Structure 1
Amino acid sequence: MKEPNRWQFLKSVVLISGLLQTSALVANPNSEVYQFDIAAGSMTGALSEFSEVSKVDINYPANTVSEVKSRGLKGSYTTEQALQQLLKGSDLSYRITGDNIVTIERSQLAEGKDPTMMPPVQVIGQAVFDATNTGDADYGQPKIGTATKTDTPIFETPISVQVIPKAVLQDQKTTRLKDALENVSGVRAQTTLGLGNGFIVRGFRTGRVFRNGLSASGLSIGAATEFDTANLESVEVLKGPAAILFGRIDPGGLINLVTKKPRDESFYSLEQRFGSYEFYRTEWDATGAVAEDRSVSYRFTGSYQDNNSFRDFNLNDRMLIHPSLTWKPSDATSITVDVEGLYQEHRSDRGLFAIGDRPAPVPTSRSYIEPNDPLDKTSKVNLGFDLSHSFNDQWKLRNRFLATFNDSEDISIKPANAFTVASFLDPTTTNRIYQRNIFAQTVDAETYTSNLDLEGSFEFLGARHKTLSGLDFTRSTGTYWTRGNFIRPISGLGIDIYNPVYGIDPAYFESALATPFPAGINYSYFRDEWYGLYMQDQITLGDSVHILGGGRYDWAKTGRGRGASITSAEAVLPTTRDEGFSPRFGLLYQPWNWLGIYGNWTTSFGANNGVTDSGKSIDPEIGEQFEAGFKTEIFDRRLTATAAYYHLVKQNILTRDQNSADPNAVAPIGEARSQGIEIDISGRITSGLNIIGSYAYTDARITKDNRGLQGHDMNNVPEHSGSLWVKYDVNDNNVLNGWSFGLGLVAAGQRLGDDENTFVLPGYARLDAFTAYSYKLGNKRLIAQFNIRNLLDKAYYESTDPFQNAPPRVGIYPGAPLTAIGSIRLEF
């Protein structure tokens, strides 16, 4: 096992990061803070008022800001922060070069500098972070890099894209990715062993999660990779097939995590949380410039969490550390290097089970594992690199690299005969005795992925073009080792489901884990290699027509070998080679500047890393989607909404072969179709009112199948689902200023628990709430907050196992009852 060595490595990273933080504190700059009170209106007037207050002369071409609107500015800011807030949401940007020189320009100029640009002027002082500034606390989402790998605003992208900003993560006190994604339409969590990050997007499950545009999940074997939210800037969801830019991805959509990057202004925060089920969590964030010229900056984020669970005998002990360093040798070049380490100890949750067509009538807190079940372990290390270089205002090159190392080991008491879906209840005891056995699995996986993108902007025949061409490469290898006869019940391990008595002899573990199973093939070796070339062109005609077109060609090699050892498994590794082309086309028309009507057609190509029971490889998965909808930006572009209709088909879907005694055998369902309507809304309505909400109508069915499941609903997909979270900051009442209040609702209709449609998970509605008080201490800010999740203490079920570690009927995962979290956060 490699965990101890990597844990030592993570400790070393903490020490190095501490030294970086110390050096940055020494170099902490200071600057004067100004009080602004600029009303919303024209950008020309706003910049004029800014100049009067800050005593800085602002210069720009006469036609640059003549028709641009400003949202206004109120509060205490440094000069740079004030510029950021004034220009936020517009197509204007500023640059500070040399000895604190600032210029204002359009951020998407197709050509070089405007010859009418007046000479730049010097800005007096340096920018520092003012913790009393809450300007980045709204729920707006003007741009996203995932959809096009460019800085195109969401509003001009003919694709359905949603962003969960860090303000939402902070207000909801989200620590796990599955809870964050409840804010997005058509996205459902589907975990395994009570952890991991599997999701259903537009009806189709994906086990891959991307990190800063590169795959961070590796091979989907054993227990899935864990993620923590402490180092996240935002979570992006790209709906529909995304193969053109990202290669192997399920057609439902792509989930991308954007991590926090170093900033050249100083900011520090420390937060302590405490709550139900002995929950304790510490989060920290520190960033700033290391060098006086601000060419080198650092960031060190992380968290430590220790908690029990509402589920008996379950617990979690997790640490995340994430240091990063950015070097800007010039205005044109930026290099960022980061290391992310996560180590977790926990007990796997085997969930509950179905009796008849409903979940068993037992308390959702009840668990059928044991209090002396050995702790399970998972560790992850990400090594990231991001280089960008601008040759000029039109052309930019970017290279990214990510190495991911995932290790996990879990030993759990599980229902007997689980993989064959035979009865796990002893019929001789009136179906009261839950028959169990012991199973262990160990995973060691490595993934290396990289891409090289060239982005350019130019005008041709009166149209503005933004082109992207690139190549990427992914290579994953992994070993998988199983022990314990997971088919045969172990005598003496039976337990009464209605009156359980715990406490088994530890000798059961020793005996079970001494048995390699399946005998002779309990070691597996996986290899997955992927190469892709892609091109994309974004064409703008006038100011109202946006055309997106492109394509990608992939070459893939996948294989899995099995044997009595890792060496023998690798020696018999078969290789399946696939290749294919994936096009994408989209069009968005703006009849008015606040409304965009769009449509797109796209396909996806995926290689199946699996074989049938007979050893035959399976054809690649193919996805195709048609989508149409509209987008709108209202309230001075502070609020964004998207409504979409889509029709999505996926062929050659892998599923567990239930006719095989081999738990690793797979078979293709054949074809499935998902169609529906999705609505998402996010942003700021007034200076104090923020909202994020979603609704999805999803009709997901199996249309072709080799086992007679045509017409069945796809598992864990409700026909109707939605969410709403509203936050109000009091800033116009002398008595209540500083207070914030929030209320949230998450709802889902009933869902079929498996593809066979043998049982139903009932619908539910969960109510959440929070209140917070922010107190200013000079340029510091202290926030006390109290959150309640499941305010009405409703019993509900989130999902079933995707047949990764158990059949759905014996892997039903309930949601948590009323849970309270208190927190204190200091920002300075």
Structure 2
Amino acid sequence: MNNIIGTRSSINFTKIVFYILCSLIFKSVSAQDTKGEISGTATNQEGSALSNVSIQVKETVLGTTTNNNGTFNLNAPVGKITLSASYMGYKTIEKTIVLNSSEIYYVDFKFIKKSEDLDEVLIEAHLDKEKIPTVSRSATKTAITLMNTPAPVVVVASYLLDQQANSTIQESIRNISGVTQAGNNYNIGDNLLIRGLESSYSYDGMYGGGSLGNTFNPVRSQTNIERIEVLKGPSTGLYGMGAAGGIINLIEKKPLDHEQYIVETRFGKWGHYKAMVDLTAPLTDKLSYRLVSASESEDGYRNVSSERFENYGALKFKTNKHELILSSAYIEDAIQIDPTGNPVRLVTTSLLGDPENGGYDWENLVNDTAEDEDGEYYGVQLTDDQRKVLANSLETTDGYEPFDIGDATLVSPLATPNKGKEFRVKLRHEWRPTETFTATNQVLYRNYNSDYVRQTGALNYSYYQNNGVIHDGTRSPLIIDNVIYPYAARRQEYRIVQAQEKMFQYFGDFQKTWGANNALHGEHLLSINYENRSIDYSQYSTWDTDDSRATTPVPYILDIRNPNWASGSIWDYDPILRSQYEKTVQGYGLGFQEVFYYNKFTARAGGAYLGTKQDYKDLYDDGQLVDFNDSGFAYNLGLNYRAMNQLSIYGNYSIGRTVYSVTASLDGDDRPDSESKSIDLGMRFKSKDNNLLASLVFFQTARTNLQYDNDEYEDDPNSNNYNVNVDRYFYDQENRTEGIELDVNYAVTNFLSLNANATFQDPKTLEGEDVTEEQTKGVPKTYARFWSQYKYLLGKTENPLSFNFGVSYESERSINGYSLVDAHVDSYVIFDGALAYEIGDKWNVRLNIDNIFDTRYYVKAMYSGALPGETRNFQLSVRYKL
């Protein structure tokens, strides 16, 4: 698959995939042109209605599910057909009927439990919520079964989030292939990557905060999240301005039509606690509400603290043709930032040679001998005693791996948490004037404020060559009064960021079904979006003595293993204004999709025209107003073949549009638009009773048209290389990832279930035809996760004891910056577990143990270091549900 994207071979690959799939259509022209109507109910042995029962017309993609009253309606081809009804924990029912178009055919399904064994009978009440997710709305914004979806989509159900006691989306990505932590120099917010590329975030399809090159954003909580849907690759305008990797769609909790009251409290290590209430009930026969409120705090591993207060409210008004949901959220959080983690000691390893007997010979640590025209050495000269101290401090891993500073941290008391305040309110109106037409309009207003002080730099120069000079000034070991401090941190900078983002967004999605009585039928889908963001950003900085701009320098860190910290407030060190700008971003899009259903095939073809206008005014420097306009087309083609009821094969080709940065400054260079491209070839398999769903995807995804410097450009008119005909930049760089993704959800029995995913990928950077980065910084080539649950009944009671066991693996990741060519983070394997006890239908007590064997590992590779993962962690949760 090498060099598919951006070359002629991508066209050939796409043609091959779609020719193969399309050719199968003409072998399946056996369905009749007219349809009849089926109506029916699904009940258990006691006569109680069963909701979400899957009703499928065998050998076709036609199907539906029962509603809360256990009833369903379905149109199917006339003639002899077989209906298959399945519900987890019950025996699958098949009925063959002869359908005509002149009357409604009524079918009743009465389900019988799979086993009359007492243990299984008792356990099934606890498994109702733990069904394998089989439907998603993210690929087309309309409900479609995953087995019929011609796009790479992964759905994470709420029961997994509950079992793992996840607080943030960073903890939830263990359930999704292709999603990892980003390697970056900020560590602010979530910063997740999909297939090694940036991701977008949304709540129910509407903007969910920072992406696309920002330096501030919130950490997204899971308190009000019902499930997670991830659509990989370009979304073709369905979600507005999008990142190349895909969209992480967080589905929020909605008001229910019945009473449900939940109270939960949680305690854990490092002073962790959480208190949460979740209340929902009908107010009238048409109006219902939901209120979710939570408070959570933790001192944090390595004193990286977090604090969060959340309030969510929603009202739902529903009639036969209208559903109106007004929802709001107010969140205050204070998340400490660790932008350095454990640093890599800066050693130019090529100067040292191979160490002898596990150490370095001090005589090999030579001083630079080059002199300037005044006879002064370019490099700082170390004495023999200083070189001996330095040699004794060096380890064979220095320059290659992060230096382990144990439970210490380089987060200074001068740094402050990212204090965020977020308020958003959304109005969603769904109107169904007829059975074939649905109009959904959503309006969102969001206001987010961010205020923090973060520390950068803190670099440990040990034996470093810069521009050919060994120990070039401040890039040398720290020496004070002839005393060398080999573990000192130099070139510290503290950045004070104050930012505000305001957002207005509108989405209109319109669906018209057609051909309901024909073998070939489908949906017309029209999407309209408009969004307007305004960003106010200010940054102040102060430094240590290494920077001449420091008027009141911050003290040096003399030893990263046991830091000596400056006292007082950051404002005591006279920070100066470094950056201040105002920015507005307007985005708009008009998209159309056509979804076709024919016998065993589902096809999707869509196109969109997207535009982005950015206005940037530099208030700090010259007040210049810079504006960019990016616009163009995006499209997607997808075809899904349901080879059999349990197996489907699909191909997908998407071209998307993105922007270089939405929340960062602009330099006035009107760059070509950035695009994203993705090719997917996948297959899905499910069991008859929906207790197994597995998918395998071969993919190649890229972000293209990226800017990089032309080495031949020279902007000094006095230079011999100055040439006005040489472009300053090239625009054919791309970040490309190709690989394989596997996702498995399997309820093996009523007592045993598992979730597993794995990703094998090759993320790299290309400039033209040349590979300039063999492995994207901080992105593993291989990672796999596993989570399982086993339930055991204590005696013959309704109180099951649940055991959970999980494993996570990530391969080696690269670190770059400051000439750290070979620096890396080692692979790791960590084990997690949980023990839960349910007392009837009301009480649940759960103990989660993360990192059971207390493994030392790094959860994130960063610019010149890595972020240590938590040591063994215990959390005890108690939930009461009424």
TM-score, scaled to structure 2: 0.75
Which residues in structure 2 correspond to 1:21-100 (within 5 Å)? 79=48, 82-84=49-51, 86-87=53-54, 91-94=63-66
Equivalent in the alignment of 1:21: none
Deviates more, 1:641-650 or 1:610-619: 610-619
Of the three residues 761, 766, 771, the one matched with 2:825 is 761
Partner Cα distance (1:88, 1:516) in 2: 64
User: Given the superposition, is the C-alpha separation of residues 614 and 370 from structure 1 closer, same or farther in structure 2, using an over 3 Å criterion?
Assistant: closer
Task: Quickly say closer, same or farther: Cα 1:373–1:693, change in 2 above 3 A.
Answer: same
Unaligned runs of 5+ in 2: 1-35, 58-62, 79-99, 109-121, 346-397, 461-465, 715-727
Q: Work out which of the residue numbers 103, 108, 115 in structure 2 matches 1:116.
A: 103
- Counterparts of 1:795-814 in structure 2, within 5 Å, are 795-801=856-862, 808-810=863-865, 812-814=866-868
In structure 2, distance between residues paired with 1:263 and 1:597: 36
Give 1:823's aligned residue: 877
Query: 1: distance between equivalents of 2:123 and 2:210?
Result: 38
2:176 paired residue number: 184
Q: Say which SS state the counterpart of residue 603 (structure 2) adopts.
A: strand
- Paired with 2:806 and 2:605, the residues of 1 have a C-alpha distance of 38
Q: Which residue pairs with 1:590 in the alignment? A: 642
* 2:74 corresponds to: 106
Could you tell me which residue of structure 2 aligns to residue 141 of structure 1?
133
| Residues 1:671 and 2:728 are matched in the alignment | no
Confirm or deny: 8 A CA contact 1:73 1:86 kept in the other structure: no
- Partner of residue 627 from structure 2, selected from 575, 597, 600: 575
The root-mean-square deviation of aligned C-alpha atoms, in Å, is 3.5
Query: Equivalents in 2 of 1:346, 1:432: separation in Å?
Result: 28
Aligned to 2:683: 630
Q: Could you tell me which of 299, 302, 322 is aligned with 1:308?
A: 299
Question: Equivalent residue of 1:169, what SS?
Answer: helix
Q: Distance in 2 between matches of 1:643 and 1:720?
A: 15
* 1:602 equivalenced with 2:654 (yes/no): yes
**Residue deviations 1:679-709, cap 9 Å, x none?**
0012423222222110110011112169x86
Structure 2: distance between partners of 1:417 and 1:657: 29
Q: Deviations over 1:253-287 (max 9, x none)?
A: 21110000001100011111001111101122110
For 1:438, the equivalent position in structure 2 comes to 494
Give yes or no for the alignment of 1:368 onto 2:410.
yes
Determine helix, strand or coil for the equivalent of 1:485. Answer: strand
**Which deviations, in whole Å up to 9, do the C-alpha atoms of 1:398-454 show, x marking residues without a partner?**
001221211111023432689x99977745435421122322011101111111111
Cα separation, partners in 2 of 1:680 and 1:450, compared to 1, 3 Å: same
Partner of 1:42: none
CA pair 174-650 structure 1, distance change in 2 beyond 3 A: same
Residue in 2 that maps onto 1:455: 511
Counterpart residue number, 2:281: 288
Is residue 473 of structure 1 aligned with residue 530 of structure 2?
yes
**Cα offsets for 1:735-788 (capped at 9, x unmatched):** 795111110111110011248754211111110000100001xxx410111000
Q: Verify the 8 A CA contact 1:439 1:484 in the aligned structure 2.
A: yes
> Which position in structure 1 is the counterpart of 2:152?
160
Task: Classify 1:471/1:774 alpha carbon distance in 2 versus 1 (closer, same or farther; 3 Å).
Answer: same
Q: Is the 8 A contact 1:425 1:434 kept in 2?
A: no
* Residues 1:729 and 2:785 aligned together: no
Residue identity in the other structure for 1:83:
L
Aligned 8 A contact 1:141 1:683 in 2: no
Do the aligned partners of 2:555 and 2:565 also contact (CA within 8 Å) in 1? no
Q: Is the 8 A contact 1:559 1:609 kept in 2?
A: no
Deviation at 1:557, TM superposition (A): 0.6
Query: In structure 1, how many angstroms separate the alpha carbons of the residues matched to 2:710 and 2:344?
Result: 20
Say yes or no: does 1:323 pair with 2:323: no
CA shift in 2, pair 1:337/1:83, >3 Å: same
- Per the alignment, in what secondary structure is the counterpart of residue 619 of structure 1? coil
Which residue identity does 1:265 align to in structure 2? H
Q: Which of 818, 836, 858 in structure 2 is aligned with 1:772?
A: 836
Number of the residue aligned with 2:591: 534
What is the CA distance between 1:564 and its match in structure 2? 2.7
Describe the shift of the 1:761–1:375 C-alpha distance in structure 2 as closer, same or farther (beyond 3 A): closer
Q: Provide the residue aligned with 1:239 in structure 2.
A: 232
CA apart distance, 1:484: 1.5
Kindly name which structure, 1 or 2, has the bigger radius of gyration based on alpha carbons. Answer: 2
| Secondary structure of 2:610's aligned partner | strand
Give the corresponding residue for 1:378.
Answer: 420
Give per-residue Cα distances to partners, 1:505-546, cap 9 Å, x unaligned.
316532333x212xxxx211122111101111111111x111
SS at match of 1:532: strand
Q: Secondary structure at 1:147's aligned position in 2?
A: coil
Deviates more, 1:749-758 or 1:272-281: 749-758
Work out which of the residue numbers 559, 576, 583 in structure 1 matches 2:615.
Answer: 559
Distance 1:231 1:342, change over 3 A: same
Q: Which residue of 2 aligns with 1:790?
A: 851
- Which residue, out of 448, 451, 462, partners 1:406? 448
Which of 792, 801, 816 is matched with 1:739 structurally? 801
Q: Do the aligned partners of 2:410 and 2:563 also contact (CA within 8 Å) in 1?
A: no
Matched residue type, 2:872? L
Cα deviation 1:602-626 (Å, max 9, x = unaligned): 1111122379996313221111221
The SS at the match of 1:246 is: coil
Measured in 2, the distance between the counterparts of 1:192 and 1:348 equals 11
- Checking the alignment, whether the CA contact within 8 Å between 1:483 and 1:512 is kept in structure 2 is no
2:814–2:861 contact (8 Å) kept in structure 1? no
1:64 deviates by 5.1
Give distance in 1, aligned partners of 2:194 and 2:293: 28
Q: Partner of 2:266 in structure 1?
A: 273
Contact 2:38 / 2:106 at 8 angstroms: preserved in 1? no
2:135 aligns to what SS in structure 1? coil
Q: 2:562 aligns with which of 491, 500, 521?
A: 500
Partner of 2:744: 681
Residues 176, 304 of structure 1: alpha-carbon distance in 2 compared, 3 angstrom cutoff: same
The percentage of aligned residue pairs carrying the same residue is: 18
Is the counterpart of residue 263 in structure 1 residue 263 in structure 2?
A: no
Matched residue, 2:24: none
CA distance in 1, matches of 2:563, 2:643: 68
The alignment partner of 1:358 has SS state of coil
Residues 557-598 of structure 1: CA deviation (Å, up to 9, x unaligned):
123221239xx85xx331111111111111111121100011
Instruction: Give the distance between the partners of 1:667 and 1:615, measured in 2 at CA.
Output: 16
From the superposition, tell whether residues 700 and 374 of structure 1 become closer, same or farther in structure 2 (CA, over 3 Å): closer
- Cα deviation for residue 713 of structure 1 reads 1.4
Q: CA 1:694–1:657 in structure 2 vs 1: closer, same or farther (change >3 Å)?
A: farther
Amino acid at match of 2:421: S
What is the identity, as a one-letter code, of the residue corresponding to 2:526? Answer: S
In structure 2, relative to structure 1, the CA distance for the partners of 1:189 and 1:89 (3 Å cut) is: farther
Given the alignment of the two structures, is residue 649 of structure 1 paired with residue 702 of structure 2, yes or no? yes
> Any conservation in 1 of the 2:489–2:560 contact (CA below 8 Å)?
no
- The normalised TM-score by structure 1 is 0.80
Superposed CA deviations along residues 489-511 of structure 1, whole A, max 9, x for unmatched, are 56452113344243423165323
Unpaired segments of 5 or more residues in structure 1? 1-60, 122-129, 802-807
Distance 1:248 1:274, change over 3 A: same
Change (3 A) 1:401 1:88: farther
Contact kept? 2:847, 2:874, Cα under 8 Å: yes
SS in 1 for 2:574: helix
- 2:256 counterpart letter in structure 1: R
Residue 555 of structure 1: how far off its partner (Å) = 1.7
> Do residues 720 (structure 1) and 776 (structure 2) align?
no
Q: 1:318 to 1:424 in 2, by over 3 A?
A: farther
